[in-house]
Structure 1
Amino acid sequence: MLQPLVLAQVGRSVAAATTPATRLILALAAVHAARVAQIGMLMLDDVDLGNRRLTIAGRVRPLDDLTLKLLLDWLEHRRNRWPSTANLHLLINNQTATKTSRASNHWISTSMRGQDATLERLRVDRQLEEALTHGPDPLHLAEVFGLDEKTAMRHADSARQLLEAAAEQKFREDRQ
């Protein structure tokens, strides 16, 4: 059964994200449940600031206030650091700014290495949180995050078990 991350675990990962790039990467995983490879594939054209939308792996997602702020911070940093780059990938670094290739998965995930809340755990935690908040419906999870059938069912089953355990705990407390 999948377990939600503890607030302290998330807090340590947030504290480890000390650059504009790592803060944006963290938000893309934790808020939008993007995989590391999906984050690396994002192009500047995937960002629609005027309409506050972001397209991740073909799925259009609304830009929340936090991600919008982090995205604007990153774009300003990117523009100041590499003003004449021809690289159209959203995330670039010193190695990719002079090319047109994407940043590596290794570079994207480096800042969260050694953390309990890795980018993958943050991504899964976001999906589990969606199932806990909106009900353990695998069809909803598949639609929102583009999950395959088995993954959506696993997340929904975990959410159902967590909700049932919480209800049982509340019932026991109410009886005492």
Structure 2
Amino acid sequence: MLLTDWLDHRRHRWPSTASLHLLINNQTANTTSRASNHWISAPKRGQDATLERLRVDRRLEKALIHGPDPLHLAEVSNLAEKTGMRYADSARALLEQAAEQHLQGNQLDRDAP
């Protein structure tokens, strides 16, 4: 919910920003620079969602949406190829797990009286 609220605020506040960074502020909205570590970290202290968790979650979401292609992930997220492969492997495992759960649910439906 917090991330969705931020994205709505970001779109409303800076509708024509060229920045590809998730977290931007008044100084970075009109550039392609990222917000400073201090600006980002200070309000996050004591929160469960760390910046690294957000970063990992965002990359994994890309892998789930666009398919687990390690070269695509490496290119669009500016990752090393091995890192792209790890994200692709994780996305593949999540997709397989979801498919298995779906099949098991269908089987249970068929077995019900």
Q: Shorter-chain TM-score category?
A: 0.5 to 0.7
1:53 maps to 18
Please state which structure has a larger fraction of its residues in strand: 1
Change in 2 beyond 3 A, CA 1:55/1:139: same
1:164 to 80, 96, 103: 96
Match of residue 140 from structure 1: 72
Residues 18-37 of structure 1 correspond to what in structure 2 (within 5 A)? 23=6
| Structural RMSD (CA) | 3.3
Give the alignment partner of residue 49 of structure 2, picking from 117, 127, 133: 117
Count of equivalent residues:
98
- Structure 2: stretches of 5+ with no match in the other structure: 11-15, 30-34, 109-113
How far apart in 2 are the matches of 1:163 and 1:55?
A: 27
Q: Percent identity?
A: 59
Tell me by how many angstroms 1:116 deviates: 2.0
Secondary structure of the residue aligned to 1:90 is coil
Q: Which amino acid aligns with 2:18?
A: R
Structure 1 residues 128-152: Cα deviation after superposition (integer angstroms, max 9, x where no partner): 0010111111111011111111211
Q: Which runs of 5+ in 1 are unaligned?
A: 1-10, 18-22, 28-48, 57-66, 76-88, 92-102
Give the 3-state SS of the residue equivalent to 1:126 in structure 2.
helix
Output the TM-score relative to the length of structure 1: 0.46
More helix by share: 2
Question: Could you say if the C-alpha distance between residues 133 and 109 of structure 1 is closer, same or farther in structure 2, counting changes exceeding 3 Å?
Answer: same
